[in-house]
Amino acid sequence: MSVVPVRTRFAPSPTGMFHVGGARSALYNWAVARQSAGKFVLRVEDTDTARNRPEWMEGIIQALAAIGIDSSDPAFEGPYLQSQSADRHRQAALQLYTSGRAYFCDCTREQLTERRESEHLGYDGFCRERGLEPARGRALRFRTPDDGETLVVDLIRGKPAFPNSAIEDFVIARGDGSPVFLLANVVDDLDQGITHVIRGEEHLSNTPKQQLLWEALGSAPPMWAHLPVLVNDKRQKLSKRRDKLALEDYLAEGFLPDALVNYLMLLGWGPGDDREIMPYPEMERLFRIEDVNTSPAFFDVKKLSAFNGEYIRALSEEAFVAACAPWLAGPHVPWRSDAFDPDVFAAVAPLAQTRLALLSEITGYVDFLFLDEPVFDEASWTKAMKPGAAQLLRDARTAYAAAAWRAETLKNVLIEVGERHGLKPGKAQAPVRVAVSGRTVGLPLFESLEVLGRDRTVQRLDAALARLTGP
Ligand code: GLU
């Protein structure tokens, strides 16, 4: 017996952004295809031409590449454009008509509404036996079986059965002859030999209709798998208005692709033990579509940030420096472009690496090293510059003007100055930290001072004193 090779597909409608939910669907399809040396087909469902733009295809390919779904991998097939099969969709519609599985309907919207209000929930079958010929303005409807049920085999949800009597005679081509999504999607899946349709739960209501179409077109339906919906912290379905959805936005904020992939894989699935941080290849090996659960998956940005922090800490020093590069140059950095010093950055990079949750935070951690003057955060200033701060800063300045310039010494010197003021080490650090960096939180102070250098440190202590005590 020959085994049919697995063929999954990812079939986004181009919208100009790549939804994190789409990324999860793509990853699950990718994992299932690669596990069995099958194929992952990318098909862009671009039939809604009014909204489609060619550059969106490029965006989809790039977003997939960012999450490791590389179009040059042997498992990758496509991209195909749905619009290129328009003739095939029309041909399938005609086939369903000529075989008697579909009929034309000239009911107007008003007529439908009027009749619907009176009795039926869906279409009432008014034109079923009228034998209307094809004509402009007539929609083509699928003749659903009167009795029996459509049993959908869903690898995640078991075998939901849909009574055929509850499925209306749905439209498969509009009055202008153009096939609708339901049909085009099935015809493409069928022609592309798709064996597993793995997609979001929002499509589950289409599935019995689509399965009827598969059967009517003479093919055995695929395996279905409907992935659980993604929700926010209020248990609401993620939406463009409320939530940040675009994968691109997460990448731009400094989430590492590996961390995103790891987190997305866990939205509805787990390896069966307590492990969460796991590289993709291992998850691919362990992933089983049957183990995906049905309950809504909480897209927890805080947890994603924690994952990201772990991934940042796991980078080699070199890789971390390279990953930070986009946040250290360009129009958004607060320092002059010639002020950035890669050696200075390299000296503090390991200190920052342990502290970041997002790569984009790096700019705020190191700006004080490259700016002529620190940017003071007013809340930090008020918090740190308590009565007595001026005298402390004055004493620290005097001590630092003469101290050996090493972190360890700078620390001991400040502890001693603090003691003279009756302050615990942490309390003595705060005004100095704000004076040199502008903020109460940041990199370890004494290592920062060592890198900043004596002259600039002393100069900043002077400037803070002047700010505190007036001219
Ligand atoms: N183009 C559809 C969507 O983006 C795909 C549906 C499917 O995966 O079958 O929702």
pLDDT digits (tens, 9 = 90+) for 417-468: 999 999 998 899 999 999 999 999 999 999 999 999 999 999 999 999 999 9
Is residue 200 included in any domain, yes or no?
no
Residue to substitute in 8, 9, 13, 238 for testing ligand 1 pocket (most ligand atoms within 8 angstroms of CB): 13
Say if 205 falls within a structural domain: no
Split into its structural domains, the chain has a count of 1
Domain-embedded: residue 399: yes
Atom of ligand 1 nearest to the CA of 10: 8
- pTM here? 0.92
Catalytic residues: 240
Task: Give, in order, the Cα–Cα distances in Å from 219 to each of 97, 187, 409.
Answer: 17, 10, 79
Contact predicate 40/295, CB 8 Å:
no
Among 157, 321, 431, which Cα is nearest to 423's? 431
436 domain residue, yes or no:
yes
pLDDT in the model for residue 25:
98
- What pLDDT score was predicted for residue 119? 60
Pocket test for ligand 1, best of 185, 187, 226, 240 (most atoms within 8 A of CB): 185
Domain region containing 458: 378-469
Q: List the residue whose alpha carbon is closest to atom 6 of ligand 1.
A: 11
Return the pLDDT at 297. 97
Provide the 3-class DSSP secondary structure of residue 299. Answer: coil
Cα-to-centroid distance, 182 and ligand 1 (Å)? 10
Which residue(s) pair with 373 in the sheet?
none
Half-sphere CA count of 58, side-chain side, radius 13 A = 3
| Closest by Cα among 437, 449, 453, 450 to 381 | 437
The CA 9 to ligand 1 mean position distance, Å, reads 10
Distance 372 CA to ligand 1 centre (A): 53
The answer as to whether 410 is a domain residue is yes
Please indicate, yes or no, if residue 273 is contained in any of the structural domains.
Answer: no
Q: Is 295 exposed, middle or buried (0-12, 13-18, 19+ CB in 10 A)?
A: exposed
- For residue 206, the CA-to-ligand 1 centroid distance in Å is 10
Q: What CATH number does residue 448 fall under?
A: 1.10.10.350
What is the number of the ligand 1 atom nearest to the C-alpha of 12?
4
- Atom 5 in ligand 1: residue holding the nearest Cα: 11
Residue 20 Cα, ligand 1 centroid: separation in angstroms?
A: 14
Ligand 1: atom nearest CA of 202 is 10
Question: 79 C-alpha vs ligand 1 centroid, how far in Å?
Answer: 15
Cα separation, 221 vs 197, in Å, equals 10
| Atom number, ligand 1, closest to the C-alpha of residue 200 | 8
pLDDT at 471: 64
* 449 found inside a domain: yes
What is the reported pLDDT for 2? 56
Q: What whole-number distance in Å separates Cα of residue 27 and Cα of residue 10? A: 9
Structure token pair of residue 249? 């936005």
Instruction: Spell out, as residue ranges, where the chain has pLDDT lower than 50.
Output: 1
In a domain, 454, yes or no: yes
Q: Which residues of 77-111 are buried (b: 16+ CB within 10 A; e: fewer)?
A: bbebbbeebeeebbebbeebbeeebbbbbebeeee
Helix, strand, or coil (residue 298) = strand
Mutation test residue for ligand 1: of 82, 183, 196, 199, the one with most atoms within 8 Å of CB: 199
Question: Tokens 């926010």 appear where?
Answer: 232
Instruction: Give residue 15's pLDDT.
Output: 81
Q: What atom of ligand 1 comes closest to residue 206's alpha carbon?
A: 9
Q: Residue 211 CA to chain centroid, in angstroms?
A: 30
Ligand 1 pocket by Cβ (under 6 Å): 11-13, 45, 185, 199, 203
